[in-house]
Amino acid sequence: MDKRFIKQAFVGLFVTLLVVSGCSTGSGPADPRAAVISMFGAMEKNDKPALAHLLDLAELMKASQEDYALKTDQPRQFSSPEDILEDLTGEGKTKKRWFALQRIVSDVEVNGDQAEVEVTFVDKDESKGYRTKFGLHIVNDRWKIYTFKTIP
Alpha-carbon distance 56 to 41, whole Å?
Answer: 17
Is the Cα torsion angle 62, 67, 69, 70 positive or negative in sign?
negative
Alpha-carbon distance 72 to 53, whole Å?
Answer: 27
3-state secondary structure of 28: coil
Biggest CA–CA distance in the chain, Å, is 72
Alpha-carbon distance 71 to 48, whole Å?
Answer: 24
Judge whether 68 and 148 are in contact, CB under 8 Å: yes
pTM of the model: 0.76
Judge whether 133 and 120 are in contact, CB under 8 Å: no
User: 74 — phi, psi (to 5°)?
Assistant: -115, 135
**pLDDT tens digits along 29-88:** 479 999 999 999 999 999 999 999 999 999 998 856 666 766 666 667 788 999 999 999
**pLDDT tens digits along 81-116:** 999 999 999 999 999 999 999 999 999 999 999 999
Alpha-carbon distance 39 to 43, whole Å?
Answer: 6
